Amino acid sequence: MNEIKKIAVLTSGGDSPGMNAAVRAVVRTGIYEGYEMVGSLRGYHGLISGDVVPLHSRSVSNIIQRGGTILKSARCKAFYEKEGRKKAYDKMQSMGIDALVVIGGDGTFTGAKEFGKEFGVPIVGLPGTIDNDLFGTDYTIGYDTAVNTVMEAVDKLRDTAYSHDRLFIIEVMGRDAGFIALRSGIATGAEMILVPESPTYIAELLYMLEKDWKKNKTSGIIIVAEGDDSGGAMKVEREINDHFPDYETRVSILGHIQRGGSPSAMDRVLASRLGNAAIMTLKEGVSGVMLGLIDNKIEMTSFEKSIKHHQYINLELLDIARVLAI
């Protein structure tokens, strides 16, 4: 590895609360360690087009508490192709950028893995996604905030569910994973939680609803992860109305409010620790890894491994949720 003088940081994929805190930690640690720091705008797009801005210590003032990402984020199709990556490499060379810190999810690390292999660019990745579905970390940056956002929304919906004797079917994010659904479901005392990791049988769901109804449960909350095989909250509502019309139902799809907002203390601290460690990892000459927190210790996982493996949810929590909802 050649000597690193100038490091670029970027955020890529879906934004998540805490990305700014991570950018701040990367930039400030980088400057502290004597590197020149720059930011690539809109993820890998900035590297291809040369949309790169200098970052100083003051450039990242007053952002630790802000959601979204000051560097903007995007999914870059061109970077999936070798031609796009070559353009990015040439641009990096012309701008004197020696190394990268990339903050994002699966797609971000897939690009990083190829790029590192093809051109020998030192790259360290940080897990930034609300979905918490990355292998190699107990928590991703943004997950805790998203769960708290869902929890607050569901608490409010439960007020109306109770007052009007209604069953609310609430859809939360998680295209491929049920982490947000499971954790927010436990935290809000949801009657049922539907996740992609466990098959949903409508007959079983109706049976449980009937049992609840007989026990004088006149209101309730069903949390559905968007990637669940039931087909989503609207579909679940239709099935309930068609086969078990006793409950008055309402659907609420929380959508992108889950991606925004001020990060929780947990996300800010996680982002700060990982951001700091990213620079120290590059300084030690290590590359091609995602950093994560496992049992409260910073651990490295190769991009290869983090992409190939899946983080599994604790399915026992589904049973616990059901027991606690009797």
DSSP notation for 35-49: -EEEEETTTHHHHHH
Q: How far is the CB of 276 from ligand F6P (least distance, A)?
A: 24
Catalytic residue among 15, 131, 133, 144: 131
Q: How far is the CB of 180 from ligand F6P (least distance, A)?
A: 8
Q: Which of 102, 123, 127, 131 binds ligand F6P (CB under 6 A)?
A: 131
Among the residue ranges 33-41, 125-133, 159-167, 314-322, the one whose residues contact ligand F6P (CB under 6 A): 125-133
Contact between 129 and ligand F6P by CB under 6 A: the answer reads yes
C-alpha 56 chain-centroid distance: 27
**What's the rounded Cα separation, in Å, for the pair 261 and 278?**
24
Q: Which of 173, 240, 271, 277 binds ligand F6P (CB under 6 A)?
A: 173
Evaluate whether 269 touches 293 at the Cβ level (below 8 Å).
no
Active site residue 144: no
**What's the rounded Cα separation, in Å, for the pair 203 and 210?**
11
| Contact code string over 67-106 relative to ligand F6P, x by CB under 6 A | ----------------------------------------
CA torsion sign for 275, 280, 284, 285 is positive
Contact between 14 and ligand F6P by CB under 6 A: the answer reads yes
Q: How far is the CB of 324 from ligand F6P (least distance, A)?
A: 26
Among the residue ranges 18-26, 82-90, 116-124, 173-181, the one whose residues contact ligand F6P (CB under 6 A): 173-181
| Structure-block tokens of residue 22 | 């991570």
**What's the rounded Cα separation, in Å, for the pair 45 and 80?**
11
**What's the rounded Cα separation, in Å, for the pair 257 and 272?**
23
Q: Which of 17, 174, 178, 292 binds ligand F6P (CB under 6 A)?
A: 174
Contact between 170 and ligand F6P by CB under 6 A: the answer reads no
Q: How far is the CB of 172 from ligand F6P (least distance, A)?
A: 9
Which 194-213 positions form the footprint of ligand F6P (CB under 6 A)? none
DSSP notation for 98-143: -EEEEEE-HHHHHHHHHHHHHH---EEEEEB-TT--BTT-S--BTH
Is the CB of 209 or the CB of 223 nearer to ligand F6P?
223
Contact between 17 and ligand F6P by CB under 6 A: the answer reads no
What region, left, alpha or beta, does residue 214 occupy, with left being phi > 0 and alpha being psi -120 to 50 degrees?
alpha
| Contact code string over 262-291 relative to ligand F6P, x by CB under 6 A | ------------------------------
Number of H helices, E strands in the chain: 11, 11
| Structure-block tokens of residue 73 | 């984020």
Q: Which residues bind ligand F6P (CB under 6 A)?
A: 14, 129-131, 173-175, 226, 259
